[in-house]
Structure 1
Amino acid sequence: MLSFKKIFFFFLLLLIPAMDLFAQQQPANTAAADTTTHRRKAPKFDLPHQLRFGVDVSRPIQNLVYDNRRSYEFQADYYIGNEVYAAVEGGWGSAKVPYDDLNYTSTNSFFRVGVDKCMLQRLTGKDWDMAFIGARYGVAFIQRSDATYTTEDPMWGMTSGSVPGKSLMAHWMEITGGVRVELLQHWFLGWNIRGKFLLNQGALKELPPAYIAGYGKGDKNTIFDFNFYVSYAIRWKKKPKA
């Protein structure tokens, strides 16, 4: 059962950036400076290993809303120490351009790799709640079908033809941030916001996919995206040093 404390903490995380900005705007005084000078160091905890797996539950909902695209996304991260997590994400999807004068489909799989850095101080050795910033490198492998088209010219009339299918690759960089809250033991709820920047725009210039799973619209060089994850964490104790 979800506790009030967990729910309160989840919404409190949304206010932290605003609270931090407000604090930076306040004039510093001697007492504050003295407190900063003698501030205690963050406590260190003997933490276990943690490997966390998640699924983006917002994608199936979007699949119902948009009838011209499908997308499924998963993620995993591993705690490597110093509040840093190594992250791997992947999935697959499809899209179609279903117009009368232009028709083609595409499918793709993708993966992203990167790191997340938790920006909150850990309260106890069992505290795995986090608000973080991170970076990703993403790659998508795309198969585009034959494209059929029809054009109309006042002099030549109706002209129909096709463009052969093609294998494409897209790769991009991401800046991301988000929240993970352990609402139940080992079970997390959280989200990511992402800014994505395509690195090979020229490769997708001709008949770009309507949608690239893992990235977004194929004709956009910059994308802003959102994920909502349900995750489960596996933890195990470290082996004692000999």
Structure 2
Amino acid sequence: MIKLRTFVSFFSFFLLLSSGVYAQYDSTKVIIDSLGKKTIFNSSPRLRIGADISYPVRYLFTNEIKGFEVVADYRLKPNKWFIAAEGGYATGTQIDSVLNYTTQGPYIKVGADRILSCSNKRPNNIFYIGARYCYSSTSTTVNSYTIRSSYWPTLTESIPSESGSVHSLEGLMGVKVEIFKHFFMGWTAFIGIPISNNKPESFDNLFIPGLGFQHDPIFGFNYTLLFTIPSSGKK
């Protein structure tokens, strides 16, 4: 319950913030030609698809986490809202003098983003907040664990792979910038709160695919490249 209240407080703060800055966002332009005819042009993209490239970047500094993720969002009407989804596969490994384990599995996230503000000159460059529901499937193998005692010989054992799952809520904030026509770059910071943990029989879900290693709460980041499916853009 404390974890859920933390998530709600975090997301409520940014919803209040959005109510104050939403007036900055207006991606609709009215163009009047020489004959006085009006054309309403909406510069916001519709469907974007892409990939999270933060996994290979992080792997340059640590080999504890590796994986891949695909992302997509779709602009709704009114233009301040996007529906969004991410999905992928991640592996987390931790090794120390006592424990060596690997957890891996697929995950999927679904939710929505709300635009807080955008650039006046380049309305496709946006700052936004969002929320996600995340389902992660886990398969955990304890490669080895060591029990040391001053009275008995050191014992090293292992535990075969066991399955589990985790349901989580995620709050996020980020930016998306149009670097070329139809191509976007995005940065996102998120906070994740596990709300339901179906643990394996012999071990806990210490790594959650899509979120990271268990903390209270879990913080992370994403770095994405996206492509907009072209549309006419005129109404």
Q: Judging changes above 3 Å, is the alpha-carbon distance between structure 1 residues 135 and 159 closer, same or farther for their aligned structure 2 residues?
A: same
Q: Which residue of 2 aligns with 1:230?
A: 225
Q: Judging changes above 3 Å, is the alpha-carbon distance between structure 1 residues 49 and 61 closer, same or farther for their aligned structure 2 residues?
A: closer
Q: Which residue of 2 aligns with 1:188?
A: 184
Report the structure, 1 or 2, having the larger strand content: 2
**In 1: Cα distance, 2:154 partner to 2:147 partner:** 6
| 1:57-112 residue CA offsets vs partner (Å, 9 max, x unmatched) | 22211012112221222210011111210000011121223345433322111111
Moved more, 48-57 or 139-148: 48-57
| 1:25-79 residue CA offsets vs partner (Å, 9 max, x unmatched) | xxxxxxxxxxxxxx9x966755487110122222211012112221222210011
Q: Which residue of 2 aligns with 1:116?
A: 113
What's the offset of the Cα at 1:204? Answer: 7.1
TM-score, length-scaled by structure 2 = 0.73
Q: Which residue of 2 aligns with 1:138?
A: 134
Q: Residue 50 of structure 1 is aligned with which of 27, 40, 46? A: 46
SS in 2 for 1:62: helix
SS in 1 for 2:208: coil
Q: Which residue type is aligned with residue 52 of structure 2?
A: D
Q: Which residue type is aligned with residue 226 of structure 1?
A: F
Q: Judging changes above 3 Å, is the alpha-carbon distance between structure 1 residues 122 and 63 closer, same or farther for their aligned structure 2 residues?
A: closer
Q: Residue 213 of structure 1 is aligned with which of 199, 209, 229? A: 209
Q: Judging changes above 3 Å, is the alpha-carbon distance between structure 1 residues 166 and 118 closer, same or farther for their aligned structure 2 residues?
A: same
**In 1: Cα distance, 2:196 partner to 2:68 partner:** 23
**In 2: Cα distance, 1:131 partner to 1:121 partner:** 6
Q: Which residue of 1 aligns with 2:93?
A: 96
Larger Rg: 1
For residues 12-161 of structure 1, the aligned pairs below 5 Å read 45=40, 47=42, 50-82=46-78, 83-120=80-117, 127-161=123-157
SS in 1 for 2:229: strand
Moved more, 94-103 or 199-208: 199-208
Contact 1:129 1:180 in 2 (8 A): yes
**In 2: Cα distance, 1:239 partner to 1:170 partner:** 43
SS in 2 for 1:228: strand
Long gaps (5+) in structure 1: 1-16, 25-38
CA RMSD of superposed structures (Å)? 3.3
Matched pairs, number: 203
**In 2: Cα distance, 1:239 partner to 1:76 partner:** 22
Q: Which residue of 1 aligns with 2:34?
A: none
Report the structure, 1 or 2, having the larger helix content: 1
**In 2: Cα distance, 1:203 partner to 1:74 partner:** 26
SS in 1 for 2:230: strand
Q: Judging changes above 3 Å, is the alpha-carbon distance between structure 1 residues 68 and 146 closer, same or farther for their aligned structure 2 residues?
A: same
Q: Judging changes above 3 Å, is the alpha-carbon distance between structure 1 residues 54 and 191 closer, same or farther for their aligned structure 2 residues?
A: same
Q: Which residue of 2 aligns with 1:168?
A: 164
What's the offset of the Cα at 1:172? Answer: 0.8
Contact 1:147 1:165 in 2 (8 A): no
Contact 1:105 1:209 in 2 (8 A): no
